[in-house]
Amino acid sequence: MVNLIGTYECKADAKGRLMMPAAFKKQLASVLEEGFVLKRSVFQPCLELYPMQEWNQLMAKINKLNRFKKKNNDFIRRFTAGVKVVDIDATGRLLIPKDLIGFASIKKEIVLSSAVNIIEVWDKDLYEKAIEDATDDFADLAEEVMGFEDEIDGIS
């Protein structure tokens, strides 16, 4: 499992290419050759970049869903809508396909933000707005998600 750290700003060129920050390239060195999957986020107007091994683990879970249930089929179709296999080229650039640029309203300024084992790809203005909007509720959210009654696995 890849555990990524960092938030970095970069620019996309007219073709939708961005230079992957050196810190992310270093963290992803062991999985660069396997490639990546880029998809629409379910909850936010951003994209999610999965290292191929992380994507394959997620797909193994999704593949266990019973496809004879309409809800499951609908979920799979929506979850995988717009999914693209992408690579980081020899010069360290990542090409974001035009349809995904449109989905995430990406202009020129981009923020790449680690989200444990994936990288979120945001238009800079939308990222800053999402962070600002979440600030008010973050204390309550942190307590609800992480505020266990007892210490579990060293998290308190």
- Please give the domain boundaries of the chain with CATH numbers for all domains: 7-124 (3.40.1550.20)
Q: Are 120 and 46 in contact (CB under 8 A)?
A: yes
pLDDT digits (tens, 9 = 90+) for 131-156: 888 777 787 888 888 887 655 555 54
| H helix or E strand, kind and range, residue 53 | helix 52-62
For 114, phi then psi, to 5°, come to -70, 140
Mean pLDDT of the chain: 91
Q: 17-19 and 36-40 as β-strands: parallel, antiparallel, unpaired?
A: unpaired
**Cα end-to-end span (Å), the chain:** 23
Q: Which residues 6+ apart lie within 8 Å of 81 measured at CB? A: 40
Return the pLDDT at 118: 97
